Amino acid sequence: DGGITQSPKYLFRKEGQNVTLSCEQNLNHDAMYWYRQDPGQGLRLIYYSQIVNDFQKGDIAEGYSVSREKKESFPLTVTSAQKNPTAFYLCASTGTDHTGELFFGEGSRLTVL
């Protein structure tokens, strides 16, 4: 079945460590997104990519990095520069018809110890 797969679902990190969250989709979607969600807040856009080898910063890109070497894959690295990384991270994708309906992965919950 087509869908988006995020891994890991839960991740613990020590301060000062970089971690990479995986996101893979087999929906043949061009656009992919990374969001961060904190309690009581809406989804905030970290990075997005509309085509392979191209990506754009969202509203809260500082302390994060991404790559888009393949259409199917859009990994997110949370670097040690991100001062408050504990959050729920959601990857999503959409087609190019601009109706905007997003298909989400199950999410990755990152906790910094």
Partner 1 sequence: GQNIDQPTEMTATEGAIVQINCTYQTSGFNGLFWYQQHAGEAPTFLSYNVLDGLEEKGRFSSFLSRSKGYSYLLLKELQMKDSASYLCAVLDSNYQLIWGAGTKLIIKP
Q: Which is nearer to partner 1, 13 or 109 (CB)?
A: 109
**What b-and-e string marks burial along 100-112, b requiring 16 or more CB atoms within 10 Å of the CB?**
eebbebeebebeb
CA angle 72, 62, 67 (to 5 degrees): 20
Q: What are phi and psi of 75, to 5 degrees?
A: -75, 150
CB of 16 to partner 1, least distance (A): 27
CB of 72 to partner 1, least distance (A): 18
Q: Which is nearer to partner 1, 82 or 94 (CB)?
A: 94
CB of 6 to partner 1, least distance (A): 9
Q: Which is nearer to partner 1, 75 or 107 (CB)?
A: 107
